[in-house]
Amino acid sequence: MANSPRPRGRPKAFADKTDQNTVQALDRGLSLLELVALRPGLSLSELAAESGEAVATVFRALVTLQGHDMVEAEEAGQLWQVGPGAFRVGNAFLRRTKVVERARNPMDMLMRDTGETANLGIEAGDEVLFLSQVETHEAIRAFFPPGTKAPMHVSGIGKALLAWYPETRIRRIIDRKGLERSTPATHVTESALLDDLARTRVRGYAIDDQERATGMRCVAAPIFNSHGEPVAGLSVSGPAFRIALEETTRIGALVRAAADRVTEATGGVQP
Architecture of domain 97-265: 2-Layer Sandwich (3.30)
CA–CA dist 127, 212 (Å, integer): 13
161-220: per-residue pLDDT in tens?
A: 999 999 999 999 999 999 999 999 999 999 999 999 999 999 999 999 999 999 999 999
> CATH 1.10.10.10 residue ranges in the chain?
19-83
Above 60 in pLDDT, residue 1? no
Stretch(es) of the chain classified as CATH 3.30.450.40: 97-265
pLDDT in tens, 95-139: 666 888 899 999 999 999 999 999 999 999 899 999 999 999 888
* DSSP β-bridge partners for residue 208: 218
Q: Which amino acid is at 178?
A: G
What is 19-83's CATH topology? Arc Repressor Mutant, subunit A (1.10.10)
Listed as own residue / partner, the contacts of 182-185 with beta carbons closer than 8 Å and 24 or more positions apart are 182/151, 182/154, 182/211, 182/212, 182/213, 183/154, 183/210, 183/211, 183/212, 183/213, 183/214, 184/214, 185/209, 185/210, 185/211, 185/214
